[in-house]
Amino acid sequence: KYYTERYRPQFHFSPEANWMNDPNGMVYYDGEYHLFYQYHPNGITWGPMHWGHAVSKDLVHWEHLHIALKPDEHGTIFSGSAVVDWNDTSGFFNGKSGLVAIFTHADLYPESERPRQRQSIAYSQDNGRTWMKYEGNPVLVDETITDFRDPKVFWHTETKNWIMILAAGQTVRLYTSVDLKTWEFASEFGEEHGSHEGVWECPDLFELEIDGDQNNKKWVLFLSIGDDPTYEEGSRTQYFIGDFDGKTFTNNHSPDTILWIDRGRDNYAGVSWSDVPIEDGRRIYVGWMSNWRYANVTPTKEWRSAMTIPRVLSLKTLENGVHLVQTPVKELQTIRENPITITNKTIIPNDNLLSDLKGNAFEIVVEFELGGAHEFGFKVCKSDSAETIIGYNVEKKKLFLDRTKSGDSSFNNSFAGIHDGELVPKDNKVKLHIFVDWSSVEVFGNDGELVITDLIFPHENSQDLEMYAKGGNVIINSLELYTLKSTWS
């Protein structure tokens, strides 16, 4: 049977077997969303990296394809991106268009065993089914920098250049090119900006409208920071908002401002899809739903790790300025079934309105109106021995996810914990949008102003659902609950 193992996500992307980390090479071309990923085909822990590959027409149902890129004489294949070369700037496509992947070749210096990271390219003339590595690889080398990886490339219309942003230890570097083969240094960003609590990895740079206004845009820089044992959070992803002129990124915030894309522990190395049609207009991304702190030891046997659900990114003006907002892609609505709706209902302590329901793959869309309760929310994947709490603390104005008793956490002592972030009620209301999928919980607060993404490993019988209030009542203005169909059957 397919995708029925213990903990196996039913509507998230996970590899058929073996180890996966970062999403790579995401590009839309000819009706297909491509998703490549860091893949170790011969084991369920990190090892010599390949690019696994899958395609989807709707971002929800995925078809696994053959491994796209395998290690070669230049090394193993680390993270990177892919673009459509519409005008054959590379000359790989006989005047037509095609796909070019830009990635890091990681090898060891023969003498010193110091890792060497150099950027290379490969191209596909058949919609990503087969790939040719460019004979001039590597195309970008700077052997003075040890950590020099994860190139994200995009076409910059105004300057008619390809732009590459890549991570260089504790900064990002930008390069420009006209043909994807030769790259010229343009600028460096990041020294003393944002968080440096780990090695910088997996940057992305893209422009977004503010409040849906075409004439008011800003550039967003995504930047993941690796696991440093000094800090309890492990690996996580920050973002910057600023301007980009084709060469230089300028941060609009003060250098010491730190903005996180997620308040949970399991959303890392996320980058966005390239070449989504202009008519669609969305900036869509997925992150790797794990954390380097324990990624290699999570309790799955056949495969390891999944991606987050695909999410749309936008910028929104909130009380304290412009912030990144994330919402689930609308395509996920096609797998909804068994709807339950509740409207204008008061929740009182010790009365569980959802006591008849059981499930491990479901979605809840809810708007609460604050009453006398000082805390309220849901307990999911619950049994006598385990529960995961998605709660709102009224006094602290905090949304939290409590996985201290969520099931198996024995594999790492920093796994059990409570993760929270500030969420200010709007007109006395709090909105939550929740996705639970056997071994993960994703919570979007107030239309994606705050997101918490966390793995859980519930006990086998932990399937109950509870809605709770503490210290008083809370009103449900509206609630929709759906079980979600498997996208793998």
How many other CB atoms are there within 10 angstroms of residue 144's CB atom?
7
Structure tokens at 387: 């529960």
Among residues 22, 85, 227, 420, the one annotated as catalytic is 22
Judged by CB, which is closer to ligand FRU: 440, or 483? 440
Q: Is 22 a catalytic residue?
A: yes
Q: How far is the CB of 164 from ligand FRU (least distance, A)?
A: 14
Q: How far is the CB of 180 from ligand FRU (least distance, A)?
A: 19
The one-letter code for the residue type at 16 is: E
Q: Does 361 participate in binding ligand FRU (rule CB under 6 A)? A: no
Structure tokens at 200: 């910088």
Burial 202-240 (b: 16+ CB within 10 A, else e): bbbbbebbbeeeeeeebbbbbbbbbbeeeeebbbbbbbb
* Interface size with ligand FRU, residues (CB under 6 A): 12
Contact status, residue 150 vs residue 202, Cβ threshold 8 Å: yes
Q: How far is the CB of 67 from ligand FRU (least distance, A)?
A: 14
Judged by CB, which is closer to ligand FRU: 202, or 380? 202
- Which string of x and - marks every residue 92-131 that binds ligand FRU (by CB under 6 A)? ------------x---------------------------
Classify the phi-psi angles of 120: left when phi > 0, otherwise alpha if psi is within -120 to 50, otherwise beta. Answer: beta
Judged by CB, which is closer to ligand FRU: 306, or 361? 306
Judged by CB, which is closer to ligand FRU: 78, or 482? 78
Q: How far is the CB of 152 from ligand FRU (least distance, A)?
A: 11
- Which string of x and - marks every residue 148-187 that binds ligand FRU (by CB under 6 A)? -xx-------------------------------------
Q: How far is the CB of 174 from ligand FRU (least distance, A)?
A: 17
Near ligand FRU in 281-320, by CB under 6 A? none
Residue 11 neighbours by CB under 8 Å, 6+ apart: 60, 309, 332, 335, 361, 435, 437, 484, 485, 486, 487
- Which string of x and - marks every residue 73-92 that binds ligand FRU (by CB under 6 A)? -----xx-------------
Which of 10, 21, 89, 124: binder of ligand FRU (CB under 6 A)?
Answer: 21
* Nearest-angstrom CA–CA distance, 241 and 284: 17
Contact status, residue 174 vs residue 249, Cβ threshold 8 Å: yes
Q: How far is the CB of 269 from ligand FRU (least distance, A)?
A: 4
**C-alpha distances in angstroms, 45 versus 12, 39, 292?**
20, 10, 11
Contact status, residue 237 vs residue 453, Cβ threshold 8 Å: no
Which of 102, 186, 269, 390: binder of ligand FRU (CB under 6 A)?
Answer: 269
Which of 165, 202, 324, 475: binder of ligand FRU (CB under 6 A)?
Answer: 202
**C-alpha distances in angstroms, 74 versus 71, 106, 174, 177?**
8, 7, 23, 22
* Nearest-angstrom CA–CA distance, 452 and 390: 10
Which of 7, 9, 22, 335: binder of ligand FRU (CB under 6 A)?
Answer: 22
Which of 10, 14, 38, 238: binder of ligand FRU (CB under 6 A)?
Answer: 38
Contact status, residue 135 vs residue 122, Cβ threshold 8 Å: no
| Closest listed residue to residue 183, CA positions, set 206, 161, 159 | 161
Judged by CB, which is closer to ligand FRU: 150, or 262? 150
Q: What is the DSSP string of 343-365?
A: EEEEE-TT--TTTT-B-SEEEEE
Q: What is the DSSP string of 282-331?
A: --EEEEESS-TTTGGGSS-SSEE--BPPPEEEEEEEETTEEEEEEEE-GG
Judged by CB, which is closer to ligand FRU: 161, or 453? 453
Structure tokens at 327: 């919402």
Q: How far is the CB of 206 from ligand FRU (least distance, A)?
A: 19
How many other CB atoms are there within 10 angstroms of residue 322's CB atom?
18
Q: Does 437 participate in binding ligand FRU (rule CB under 6 A)? A: no
Near ligand FRU in 363-392, by CB under 6 A? none
Q: Does 49 participate in binding ligand FRU (rule CB under 6 A)? A: yes
Q: Active-site residues: which are they?
A: 22
Task: Kindly list the residues in this chain that would bind ligand FRU in the complex (CB under 6 A).
Answer: 21-22, 38, 49, 78-79, 104, 149-150, 201-202, 269
